[in-house]
Amino acid sequence: MTLEREVLVLQHSSSVRVWDNQYLDWSLVRHSSLKTAGLYLDSSETSVAIIDCSDTEKPSFRLERWLDNYEGVFWIAILSQCQLLKKEWQLFVAMHCYDYHTTPVSEERLFITIGRAYGMTRLKNKLNLSFQRGEIVGRHEKFQNTLIYLQSHKGECLTLSGERGTGKRLLTKSLAELRGLQFLELDASRIDPAVYISRFNSIVSKCSEKPICLYINGVELLPRYVQHHISGCASIDNIKFVFGCKVSSNELDELDAFVPEFLLLLNKCWIDIPPLRDRGKDKLILAKYYLYKLSRELGKYSLGFANDAEDAIEKYSWPGNVTELIEKVMSGLSCSETDYLNAESMELDDKLTPESSNLSLRKAREEADALAIKRVLELVSGRPGRAAELLCISRASLHRLIARYGIRR
């Protein structure tokens, strides 16, 4: 007997679309309002959903905020061909959806996509990476191992070691949410040592009301008498201590900055968070994630990065790590007037090394494409319709390539 699996159909368009479901192992659950769809998702284990927006002029801010609450769902958008030509819908699909189908919809192809999405949810559950959600983005092996280790940790004390901007606070906050703990923090660089112990005691007193995850950042700056005090409270019930440290485990003994009992706490479980420069393709993955996120918040519909920006992102050493990357993306969005952010707008143009940037086949193909488009546009006096015909591509594709390569007409 095949187990029936439910798929939410959120009918967000004005017209009513009904699919004749011929697949007995799938059950389509239809809702037309965000409120009722939200109640259904909150009370079910549905992981795949269809959202029909084919008659909607543009994605509303309310809809996008609502979808942010259900990032664990694999959404399949139903859109028209005309909608896909608009930047706001391209960004909507890139930001929120697993896949999309254009109208008129082939039911057979749609259910193939549903099957693939369901397979992806099973793979995600098998990897047991519930920790990786929201802004915790990354596929590099070192970072994945960090997440797995964090999720499996059962003790009361944990030390996260990493450079500034690697995400120690964000990881701690996500860990607290995962365990159902209240997140509180103390940062030694921002608190006067004279009042540090009183603030610490104030937080500890709250643990009787609700279990707490206390993030103590900048432990290398703590005076010894504060270290003594924290060490004496480490066994208190209902508190999980997470220590943030910029010092590597190899440097601990050389510093002579910690009292023995506090050093013992730090060494109970030590996790090194890799710097961004050591995370390979994660640099570009994170950049794209924050580009989509920040462009939506700023109301700028950027479609992606230009080629020179992608090259610069991959080659730059990122001494400020993820924090610096976010700042560069924000800077680029604030001054860019094009569909694609380039290296100059992100102030990364001087980080490129032209000698090595022309070695890849991808780069060579892109340069050839740009040259062909320029020549055809000159041949047809800048008429995009005729140029698209000669290049054997759609007008929409031509406009995207013109913007991506920065071609002047």
**pLDDT value at residue 28:** 84
Residue 276: alpha-carbon gap to chain centroid: 14
Q: Per-residue confidence of the chain (409 residues) as pLDDT tens digits?
A: 334 578 888 887 655 455 555 555 678 888 888 888 888 887 887 889 999 998 888 888 888 878 877 877 899 999 998 898 888 888 888 778 888 998 888 888 888 888 888 887 776 655 444 444 456 778 788 888 888 888 888 888 999 999 999 999 999 998 888 888 999 999 998 999 899 999 999 999 888 888 999 999 999 999 999 999 999 998 888 899 999 999 887 777 677 889 999 999 999 999 999 999 999 989 988 998 888 888 877 877 777 888 889 889 999 999 999 999 999 999 999 888 777 888 988 988 765 444 444 456 666 777 778 878 887 887 777 788 888 887 888 877 788 788 777 776 6
DSSP 165-200: TS-HHHHHHHHHHHHT-EEEEEETTTS-HHHHHHHH
**pLDDT value at residue 386:** 80
What does the radius of gyration of the chain's CA atoms come to, in whole angstroms? Answer: 26
What domains can be seen in the chain, in order of their start residue?
5-127 (3.40.50.2300), 141-274 (3.40.50.300), 277-357 (1.10.8.60), 358-409 (1.10.10)
Paired tokens of 400: 């995207």
**pLDDT value at residue 126:** 55
Phi-psi region of 193 (alpha: psi -120 to 50; beta: other; left: phi over 0): alpha
Question: For residue 310, which amino acid is it?
Answer: E
Residue 140 · residue 279 · CB < 8 Å: yes
Output the pTM of the full model: 0.62
